[in-house]
Amino acid sequence: MISGGGTGGHIYPAIAIANAWKEKHPSSEILFVGALGKMEMQKVPEAGYKIKGLPVAGLQRSLTLENLKFPFKLLKSLTQASQIIKDFNPDAVVGVGGYASGPVLYAAQRKGIPTLVQEQNSYAGLTNKILAKRAKKICVAYPEMDRFFPADSIAYTGNPVRKDILDLSGKREKALTHFGLDPAKKTLLVLGGSLGARTLNQAVLADLQKLDAEGYQVLWQCGKFYFQEMKSKLAESGLTTIHLNEFIREMDLAYAAADVIVSRAGALSVSELSLVGKPVIFIPSPNVAEDHQTKNAMAYVSHDAALLLKDSEAIGALKQKVKELMEDSKLSESLGRNIKNLAKPNAANAIVEEIEQLIA
């Protein structure tokens, strides 16, 4: 059983683990448990797996009526999680973070079923810190995570990512054709996640004309929350070198086309970008728990494996950072090489091996 979700950063590693397990154990049954109304309820079935939903939700930062419902939703979710576990009778339960993983792993631990926590970030979330006390194994993506978890339970596996980005060689020409890009121009890839990132979008908007004047083209994933607004602004600019997308499904081709990448620093993005091995400018989101995106980014910046641009400084400063990398081939090559050295390409299989040991 695999539980968690809420964002792609939790869902895609969970699916990667399931795929790796299924490859080794094709006759196994796998059941996902997610939160009702969250994206895992769509993405997991699309990947070919069954999923059950819990009514669990998080606490809002401001005082709302939804917060009054929280204890009732949590209690109901604990009861339902216990019943789902009783019915499915799993040999092991994996939690990948997100609202649903708390009730499911808690219920499994109470029943004596081995549990494994997969922590994607360099700064552990509160739920995982609590669950880890009774988990048999904690799989992490960063060193020195014994700050949060019992050292003897930690396995340094990395974050599982989709297979298609493990080898980008020979894909550049196909990528340029697919996105309608000019082979003679250098390409900036901007990624703000599936929902979008306001600051990244505003930063691109602010420097549209300058990026075009420098001779760059932009492959831009702006996210579904901002697509119509950005589409309208782009139409006003009249520029043809900016290739706007609500969401990019062919991420392997997007990475293959890129000369420089600008991205948020969510755990999944950082792990994928380390495998890609291209120069990256991280603009961490400040609107996340414990500022963990900055901590994720700094784990790479401290190894000279990426550049950091603060969210508060990004608008108006993006073009200059991009130009720095586009024109300094030595720096670009060094960052690309260093970030690739931090990659963990076999993370999903490493986690599968840890699960196997739990139920051996």
Q: Could you tell me which residues are annotated as the binding site for UDP-N-acetyl-alpha-D-glucosamine?
A: 7-9, 121, 162, 194, 248, 267-272, 293
Residue owning tokens 């109901």: 76
Backbone angles phi, psi at 35, to 5 degrees: -105, 130
Burial of 187 (0-12, 13-18, 19+ CB in 10 A): buried
CA distance 164 to 75: 40
CA distance 270 to 297: 8
Q: Are 229 and 301 contacting, i.e. CB atoms less than 8 angstroms apart?
A: no
Q: Which residues contact 9 (CB under 8 A, 6 or more apart)?
A: 97, 120, 266, 267, 268, 269
Q: Are 136 and 116 contacting, i.e. CB atoms less than 8 angstroms apart?
A: yes
- Collect contacts of 19-26 with beta carbons under 8 A, ≥24 apart: 19/47, 19/163, 19/348, 20/160, 20/348, 20/349, 20/351, 20/352, 21/352, 21/355, 24/352
What is the per-residue burial (b if ≥16 Cβ within 10 Å, else e) of 229-239? ebeebbeeeee
What is the radius of gyration, based on Cα positions, of the chain? 21
Identify which of 137, 163, 160, 161 has the alpha carbon closest to the alpha carbon of residue 149. Answer: 137
Q: Are 55 and 73 contacting, i.e. CB atoms less than 8 angstroms apart?
A: yes
Q: Per the annotation, where are the binding residues?
A: 7-9, 121, 162, 194, 248, 267-272, 293
